[in-house]
Structure 1
Amino acid sequence: MGRLGELEPVPRKSTVEIVYDELRSAILYGSLAPGDQLGEAELAARLGISRGPLREAMQRLVQEGLLHSEPHRGLFVITLDENDVEDVYMARLAIERAACVLLMQRNRGEAVVQLNEALQQLVEAARERDPVKMSDADQAFHEALVRASGSPRLERMAQTLLVETRMCLNALQSTYPEPEELVEEHRRLVDAIADGEEERLLRLIEEHMVDSIARLCG
C-alpha cells in the first residue's frame, strides 16, 4: 500500500485464475471427486466461459498434480491410496518443518498473532463439531504456518499438498481426531513458537504428521 489515503489499482483476477480457483475449490470440497472425468463442453457450459480459459486452468491443475491426463480419454481428478497418503504427509512434514525453522528466525510475535487468529477459527469450528468447518480451519492454520516463514516457494508447494490432504480427509473423514484433541495439537504448536522452543516445535510438527498417517492408514 502507498501513502495513507493514496488510491491504488485494485488487483483483478484473469478469467483463467477465476476458473482455476473454481476447479481447485471443487476438488478440495469433493464436488469434483477422485476419479471424476472433466468434460470440457459440460464444464465450459456450467461456468459460462469459452474452452480456452478452461483448458489453461485445467493444465495448471495437471502441472500441480491434482488432475492427470489419460491418452484418448481426457483429464481426471487424481485418486489417492494409502501409499499416497503417507507420501503427502511426509512431503508436508518436509515443507512445514522448513517453514518452522524459517519462522523461528523471523518475527515470532507476528507469527503467533496470525496463528492465534487461525487457532481461534479452529476452536469455534470444534465447538460446533462441524467436520467441514474443522477441515477448513485446520487447513487455514497450516497455510498461516507456512506463510509465516516468508517463503513464497514453500507456500506455493504447500498449497497443492493441502488440497491433497483434504482429499484424503474427505475419503476418510471417520478417522478425523476428536475436536478437542485437534485444537490441543495446534495449540501446542503455537505455544512452542511463542516460547521460542524450536526443538519442541519441530518435534511436535513431526508427531502431528506421523500421527495423521497412522490415523488415516491404520
Structure 2
Amino acid sequence: MPRDMPRSVGRASVLRVPRMSTVDLIAIELRKAIFSGALPVGSPLGEVEIATQLGVSRSPLREAAQRLVQDGILIAIPGRGMSVAVIEGDQVDDVYVMRLAVESQAVRRITRANDSRAMARITRAFEEFSTASAGDDARAMGDADLEFHQVLVDAAGSERLTRGMATLVMQTRIASFSVPEGYSVRRSISPTYERLLAALAAGDADAAVIALEEQFEDAVSRLRGDDVTVETVDVDVDAEEQVFRPIDATAIHEGR
C-alpha cells in the first residue's frame, strides 16, 4: 500500500465490533486499496490473485466484497464477477446530495450540543488540512480534506451518521478517481471552510449548512468538468504489482 490511509477509511467495517474477524480485515484492506487507487475504478476484482496476496481463501474475500457492493463501492455483474465502481455524471450529484443530508444533520447536532471538545477536534482537523494544503503533496491535501469532513460528522456523536459518512468518503474518492482527466485536488482551500468554522463557533446551524451547500456545489461542478477556472493539482496514482500484503490480524488489533 502506498501510504497510510486517513482514519476514516475502514471505520464502517469496525464500529461496535469488539474483535475484528477475517472478513472485517479483508473489507478494510479492500477499502484501502480502492481509496488509494491501487485498485483502479472500473477494474475487475481478481479473486484468485487478491486472495493469494492476502493469504486468505476466496470465501471470506467474497463475503467482504459483498459488503462493499452493498456500500456502492464495488459493483456485481451477473456472470462477470465484481469490479470497482465508477461514479460520474448524475451519480456525483447524488453522492453530494447524500453528503449534504448527513453533514447538515451533523452540524445541527454540533451547534445544539455546543461542545467545546467537539469544536476543538474539528478545528484541529481543519488545521491539519491547512497544513497539507500549504505543501506540495496533492494526495495529502485530498486525504486531509476528506478526513476533515469525517471528523465533522464524528463530532455529532451519532454512530450511524459516522458509519454513513465513512461510506460517503469512499464514494467521494471514487468520484474523484472517475474523472476522465485524472484525480486532482484544489490548489487552495475554498473560503467556504472558514465560513463553516465561523458558523459552527457562533452556533449558527443555518449559516453552516449554507457554507456546506456552496462548498458542495463547487465540488460537483469541478468533478463534472463544468468549472475549469479553479486551479488544481494532479495526484499521482502509483500502480503496484503487489497491491495487498498478507493479513496480520495481531498487528491490526494492536494498531500497528
TM-score after normalising by structure 1: 0.88
Q: How does 1:121-160 map to 2 (within 5 A)?
A: 121-160=128-167
> What residue is the counterpart of 2:78 in the other structure?
71
Tell me the CA shift for residue 188 of structure 1: 2.5
Count the aligned residue pairs.
206
Residue 181 of structure 2 is aligned to residue 176 of structure 1: no
Tell me the CA shift for residue 87 of structure 1: 0.9
CA–CA distance in structure 1, aligned partners of residues 140 and 128 of structure 2: 9
CA–CA distance in structure 2, aligned partners of residues 41 and 178 of structure 1: 40
CA–CA distance in structure 1, aligned partners of residues 127 and 105 of structure 2: 24
Q: In structure 1, which of residues 104, 109, 113 is the aligned counterpart of residue 116 of structure 2?
A: 109
Residue 67 of structure 2 is aligned to residue 60 of structure 1: yes
Question: Is contact 1:175-1:215 (8 Å) kept?
Answer: no
- Tell me, which stretches of 5 or more residues in structure 2 are unaligned? 1-17, 227-256
Q: How does 1:199-218 map to 2 (within 5 A)?
A: 199-217=206-224, 218=226
CA–CA distance in structure 2, aligned partners of residues 206 and 43 of structure 1: 39
Identical-residue share of aligned pairs (%) = 39
Question: Is contact 2:41-2:177 (8 Å) kept?
Answer: no
Residue 195 of structure 2 is aligned to residue 195 of structure 1: no
TM-score after normalising by structure 2: 0.76
CA–CA distance in structure 2, aligned partners of residues 214 and 143 of structure 1: 22
Structure having the larger proportion of residues in helix: 1
State the Cα RMSD in Å.
1.6
Matched residue of 1:68: which SS?
strand
CA–CA distance in structure 1, aligned partners of residues 29 and 73 of structure 2: 13
CA–CA distance in structure 1, aligned partners of residues 130 and 177 of structure 2: 20
Tell me the CA shift for residue 175 of structure 1: 5.7
Matched residue of 1:72: which SS?
coil
Cα deviation code 1:157-187 (max 9, x no counterpart): 11111111112223445663222x34x4323
Describe the shift of the 1:68–1:133 C-alpha distance in structure 2 as closer, same or farther (beyond 3 A): same
Tell me the CA shift for residue 76 of structure 1: 0.9
> What residue is the counterpart of 1:186 in the other structure?
193
